[in-house]
Amino acid sequence: MTGPAAPDRARAARPTARLGWMYLLVVAALAAIGVTAGDLYFLADRSLHLPWALALDGCEQVLAASGQVPAPSTLADCLAGVPRQRGLVMLGGAVLVPVGAALLLLLVPLVDQRRLRRQRGRFEVPGATARFAALCDENQLRGRRRPRLLIAGPPFRQAFTTGGIGRRPVVVLPAGVAVAYRDPGRFDPVVQHELAHVRAGDVTAVAAIRGLIWLPVPAVAVGALIEIFSFGPNVFVGRAVLRALLLSVLIAVLGALLMRIREREADLHVVRTGNGNALIALLATARERVLPAGNRPKAVARRLLARHPDPTRRAELLRRPDRLREGGLAQGLAVATVTVAAMVAAFEVTAELRPSARGWLPALVTVWTGAVLLTSGFMPSLVRRAEAVARTGARADWWRPLAGVGIGFFATTVVTAWFPTPGGAGLFQGQTREAGASLLLALLTSALGTGAVGLCVLLATTLAVGPSPEPGGRGTATDGRARTDSRDGRAPVGSRDGWAPVGNRWRYAGYATAIGVTVAVLWPMPVLASVWNDPGVLRAWLVYALPRTGWLLPALALPVLLAARARPAGPVHLRRLARSAEVRAVVLTVLICGGGAALHTGLNPPDALPEALRALQARWLICALAGWLVLLVTATYPGRGSLARPVLAAGAATGLTAVLQYAQSALAGGAAGLDALQLHLVAPLTCLLYLFALSLPPLLARRTVARLPALAQPPAPAPAPAASAPAPAGGLVPLVPSTPPTMPWLVRVALPATVATVVMLGPGAATLYTPLPSQSGAAAPAARLLPHPTAPTGPVTADPAQAPGPGPTPTVSPLPAAGRPLDTVEVDAVVRAVRSAVPTSWTARRSGSDSGSRIEPARCEPLFRDAYLEELKPGVRASAEAGYASPRGRVGVASTTVDVTVTSYAEPVPSSLFVAADAARAACRQFTAGEGGSAVRFTVGARPAPVLGEESWRVDYALSVGSGGNRITGTSAFVLVRVGHNLVTVYLSAVMQPLDERILGAVLTAAVRALDPP
């Protein structure tokens, strides 16, 4: 069994692992839940919510576009006048919740000081104080960083460290530990553990983490209680609260994970000081908390929310101090979950603050937010993991961070898409309400997130393991030892022969490159949800708009950094590079793919624009596939452990193939110059970038062991080719002279390249061809996404085809003579004729009636229930009804509905029906329907009935619900028209918008004309 290492004072002086990524995740999660809480409060307070909702619904109804469809470009002009209160309230929540966490930095230490006030001066152990001072000196704690010692009696039985802003930390030791200062096996491990917390410099910050679980609860409860008290429990509250609770649980789990990681790092510091065995002995005597038996969910919850690992687990970790822990599955899951939640919050806030810039600004802010969080939360840990692999030869297990990120992206995307906020401009609230579409979108976002982290892993391994130095060459000192990249030029403690930690300059360059690459990989995410259900628009955006996005340019730093770390040192390396397998694969692939495409274009020159576009897109794909094939062949060939050189070779293959296509086009008389070169080069490189992102995770996952054989043995005294040919997995390796490729190796390169070229120039060109956006069937959505929109710009005007008003004369055939009894088929024909009278953007709805509401006063119930129609029911021969509603926007507060019923009777409709209706209307002036805060108040009115049919009648209602700022109003009209044996009833209702008399007249006219055809 491998136990803790011997005392190493120099190693003990090293700073403990940085946990800044965890604090960054906690702040981001708090901001995300603040946005959710602010949005919940905004939607619950109708005085804030209604002006915004009415303005947005008005824009969407004028343009006949709901929030489920990508809005036309003209919607931006209308949205410029939408109030921004929602975005401001959400931004306020994002600020207030972290500020509440900051207040805990002041309150929690005050509570601790109040608890310890009675313990000051009660116990004095001079020997313990002296030994404590000696350990502080050993850990180089001086000045304001030097902690005070407080010896406490019961009820304090565990040592802990507390502190406040601007104050020195205080280490609290139980009296039983203090009196054992002469026993290093009891006193030193406990004190060293607490001093590790002081050295980490986060004693005050941890005070806020201890109370984080209580912050989300009141933040979410404020908005939820306002909604429930005003309108009662509803689906809106359930979805919003459930989403906020999921974020709250995430924050609680993150806080507990942070506390456990701090304890583990403090234990490792004890091991570095040589007190590991003593700490293991103390943990063996500790009382372990028994998890409940038979209640697995409770046991799992307790384990996830525990602030300290159980003693058995701590002892197990201490026995294996060199085991890789950073950058694992749990960290990947936490980073991915918070990243997606923060991206959703950033998108919602930006879209509401700048409604007119919905097409580009929210996407920009969202992608950069995700890139910064994903890189800051993962890249430093990945570099340290790669350094540990290079230093110790341990198993890399890169599948762990990749799996954690993939699961986190998938789960958070599904939850966000399935539990949207009403009316929110959510990142995944486009057309993904269906479960299948949400799952597919979650899989794709998971693939993008995993690909971004895969590229970060590639950068980390490249930084951690550079080319092995040659005596007297670049990268070595004059005495032949490896040079370091540290600014002081000294080899850091703990480095082994042939390896040195990454210098700060390389490290920061790697972090900047990782952010740029992550921005490029995550860029399609904001667009995917809005065009997911329209493959034509999606393909057009990917082909024509994505390559022209300037934010993909930072990804070019990736090959630059890889090439800089793999730079050849001297002519020997240059000759080996020229003879390497990667160069041969690049040359062979370029000749096959590039030559085949150029030959095909020369023999079949396009003579029209569609044929030219089809050929150009085929060449783009051939260039991208050329690089991808080089990557797969060179990365999977036996003995090729490094992925940096295959990636460089793949980029070179795509670039050379694209340049060859440009040269052939220029020589054939085509366009030349910088624009033409960009047209031939940018699209293939863009496609190759995403092929990299999708291919690297499986390639990294299969490299489970990453060892440096050259580090396990001292280097040979004289340079020899055999001694400089290690092939580590996960990092750069020295160039090795390749033997002439055998026939199977040639087949591995030539056969796929030939097949890809033939397929793409043949059936693939026609199958994968994407026409110009103006030729596709989705011109309106494409106008917002593509670089050359086809939709007109200018002020918002209603579409004449969708303007309400009387439509053309219905031409239903056969139609009955006016007034005679009708059968079921004829009644259905009359009802269908009404469809031409409503705007084309309206959708069908199922008509419904309220039969359970309580009506007060009771004399108004005959009017509300249409009781005057009851006496005609025995003579009904046939009846049909239809309902239509205006387009429902993302909010759906303002709406108009119409319900039409045509009934045919065996006897002519009597005039007494209208006498009874007049009596019911005269008996009631006001009434309420329902009970409590949701009761609807009606005021009865009467406008002149339309002159249609043999006789007509009308009643109007002014309705309202709620009070004050939460008051919702509406108007409705109910009309009866008698035509012989037939009765037409039309009910038109408008909520939070004027009643459109044109629609009412058009519907009545269409129904009567259908009964009396020309």
Q: Within 10 A of 726 (CB to CB), how many other CB atoms are there?
A: 18
Q: Does residue 587 have a pLDDT over 90?
A: no
Of the two residues 531 and 598, the one the predictor is more confident about is 598
For residue 417, which of 536, 528, 519 has the smallest C-alpha distance? 528
Rounded average pLDDT over 55-62:
71
Q: Within 10 A of 267 (CB to CB), how many other CB atoms are there?
A: 25
Most confidently predicted of 91-95, 530-534, 590-594: 91-95
**Which pLDDT does position 498 carry in this prediction?**
46
Question: What residues pair up with 984 in beta bridges, in sequence order?
Answer: 902, 977
Q: Does residue 331 have a pLDDT over 90?
A: no
HEC letters along 738-766: CCCCCHHHHHHHHHHHHHHHHHHHCHHHH
Write the single-letter amino acid at 634.
T
Rounded average pLDDT over 579-583:
78
Q: Does residue 762 have a pLDDT over 80?
A: no
Strands 936-941 and 951-961, by their bridges, are antiparallel
> Cα separation of 367 and 347, whole Å?
9
Q: Does residue 431 have a pLDDT over 50?
A: no
Q: Does residue 726 have a pLDDT over 60?
A: no
Structure tokens at 705: 């062991």
Q: Which residues are CB-neighbours of 383 under 8 A, at least 6 positions away?
A: 460, 463, 464, 502, 507, 510
Structure tokens at 355: 């409604």
DSSP state of 702: T
Q: Within 10 A of 858 (CB to CB), how many other CB atoms are there?
A: 9
Write the single-letter amino acid at 990.
A
Chain center to CA of 28: 13
Of the two residues 679 and 760, the one the predictor is more confident about is 679
Of the candidate ranges 161-170, 751-760, 897-906, 1004-1013, the one whose mean pLDDT is the lowest: 751-760
Rounded average pLDDT over 238-243:
70
Is residue 844 helix, strand or coil? strand
> Cα separation of 1010 and 830, whole Å?
5
Q: Does residue 802 have a pLDDT over 60?
A: no
> Cα separation of 467 and 123, whole Å?
59
Please, which contacts does 172-175 make with residues 24 or more away whose CB atoms are closer than 8 Å?
172/116, 172/119, 173/128, 173/132, 173/149, 175/123, 175/125, 175/151
> Cα separation of 561 and 876, whole Å?
83
Q: Which residues are CB-neighbours of 453 under 8 A, at least 6 positions away?
A: 332, 374, 378, 382, 401, 402, 405, 697
Q: Which residues are CB-neighbours of 674 under 8 A, at least 6 positions away?
A: none
Question: What residues pair up with 954 in beta bridges, in sequence order?
Answer: 975
CA distances in angstroms from 330 to 257, 404, 405, listed in the order given:
9, 6, 9
Helix (H) / strand (E) element for 953: namely: strand 951-961
In the chain, pLDDT over 90 holds for what percent of residues?
A: 13
> Cα separation of 344 and 340, whole Å?
6
**Which pLDDT does position 801 carry in this prediction?**
36
> Cα separation of 508 and 817, whole Å?
85
Helix (H) / strand (E) element for 55: namely: helix 46-62
Of the candidate ranges 2-11, 405-414, 949-958, the one whose mean pLDDT is the lowest: 2-11
Instruction: State the chain's mean pLDDT as an integer.
Output: 75
Is residue 553 helix, strand or coil? helix
> Cα separation of 817 and 798, whole Å?
37
Q: Is the separation of the CB atoms in 500 and 491 below 8 Å?
A: yes
Phi-psi category of 472—alpha, beta or left, where left has phi over 0 and alpha has psi -120 to 50?
A: left
> Cα separation of 468 and 875, whole Å?
99
For residue 359, which of 344, 370, 347 has the smallest C-alpha distance? 347
Rounded average pLDDT over 860-870:
89
Q: Is the separation of the CB atoms in 962 and 50 below 8 Å?
A: no
**What are 486-516's pLDDT values in tens digits?**
333 333 333 444 455 667 788 888 899 999 9
Rounded average pLDDT over 810-830:
69
Strands 170-174 and 148-152, by their bridges, are parallel
Structure tokens at 479: 């005495």
DSSP letter for each residue of 430-443 = SS--SHHHHHHHHH
HEC letters along 859-910: HHHHHHHCHHHHHHHHHEEEEEEEEEECCCCCCCCCEEEEEEEEEEECCCCC
**Which pLDDT does position 108 carry in this prediction?**
77
Most confidently predicted of 14-23, 251-260, 700-709, 855-864: 855-864
> How is the chain split into domains, by residue range?
16-120+203-285+299-324, 325-465+506-533, 578-706, 824-1011
**Which pLDDT does position 521 carry in this prediction?**
92
Q: Which residues are CB-neighbours of 727 under 8 A, at least 6 positions away?
A: 639, 640, 641, 642, 733, 736
**Which pLDDT does position 348 carry in this prediction?**
86
Of the two residues 814 and 302, the one the predictor is more confident about is 302
**What are 828-838's pLDDT values in tens digits?**
999 999 998 98
With bands split at pLDDT 50, 70 and 90, how would you rate the model's confidence at 640? low
Q: Does residue 96 have a pLDDT over 60?
A: yes
Could you tell me how many helices (H) and strands (E) the chain has, helices first? Answer: 36, 12
Q: Is the separation of the CB atoms in 463 and 510 below 8 Å?
A: yes
Q: Which residues are CB-neighbours of 107 under 8 A, at least 6 positions away?
A: 211
Q: Does residue 973 have a pLDDT over 60?
A: yes
Give backbone dihedrals phi and psi of 904, rounded to 5 degrees, phi first.
-110, 135
DSSP state of 719: -
With bands split at pLDDT 50, 70 and 90, how would you rate the model's confidence at 770? low
With bands split at pLDDT 50, 70 and 90, how would you rate the model's confidence at 791? very low
Q: Does residue 691 have a pLDDT over 80?
A: yes
Write the single-letter amino acid at 519.
V
Q: Does residue 7 have a pLDDT over 60?
A: no
Write the single-letter amino acid at 824.
T
**What are 32-52's pLDDT values in tens digits?**
888 888 888 887 777 777 777
**What are 129-159's pLDDT values in tens digits?**
999 999 999 888 888 888 989 888 887 888 8
Half-sphere exposure of 294 (CA within 13 A, CB side): 0
Of the candidate ranges 97-101, 763-767, 941-945, the one whose mean pLDDT is the lowest: 763-767
**Which pLDDT does position 986 carry in this prediction?**
94
What is the arrangement of strands in the sheet containing 148-152, beginning at the earlier edge strand?
148-152, 170-174, 160-162
For residue 75, which of 791, 579, 709, 704 has the smallest C-alpha distance? 791
> Cα separation of 732 and 464, whole Å?
9
Q: Where would I find the H helices in 702-854? A: 709-712, 743-761, 763-767, 779-785, 824-833
> What's the length of the chain?
1014
For residue 804, which of 1010, 1000, 1006 has the smallest C-alpha distance? 1000
**Which pLDDT does position 452 carry in this prediction?**
93
> Cα separation of 972 and 938, whole Å?
10
**What are 916-944's pLDDT values in tens digits?**
999 999 999 999 988 766 788 899 998 88
Q: Does residue 317 have a pLDDT over 50?
A: yes
Question: What residues pair up with 975 in beta bridges, in sequence order?
Answer: 954, 986
**Which pLDDT does position 954 carry in this prediction?**
94
Residue showing tokens 């806020």: 208
Superfamily of the domain at 824-1011: PknH-like extracellular domain (3.40.1000.70)
ω into 155 cis (within 30 of 0): yes
**What are 447-490's pLDDT values in tens digits?**
999 999 999 999 988 888 754 443 333 333 333 333 333 333 33
Q: Is the separation of the CB atoms in 599 and 643 below 8 Å?
A: no
**What are 279-297's pLDDT values in tens digits?**
888 888 876 555 555 566 7
**What are 156-203's pLDDT values in tens digits?**
888 888 887 778 888 989 888 888 888 888 899 999 988 988 888 777
Write the single-letter amino acid at 695.
S
Q: Where would I find the H helices in 525-604? A: 525-531, 535-540, 557-565, 571-578, 581-589, 595-603
Q: Does residue 885 have a pLDDT over 60?
A: yes
**Which pLDDT does position 958 carry in this prediction?**
93
Of the two residues 127 and 752, the one the predictor is more confident about is 127
Q: Is the separation of the CB atoms in 389 and 464 below 8 Å?
A: yes
Positive/negative CA dihedral, 85, 90, 92, 93: positive
Q: Is the separation of the CB atoms in 86 and 52 below 8 Å?
A: yes
**Which pLDDT does position 917 carry in this prediction?**
92
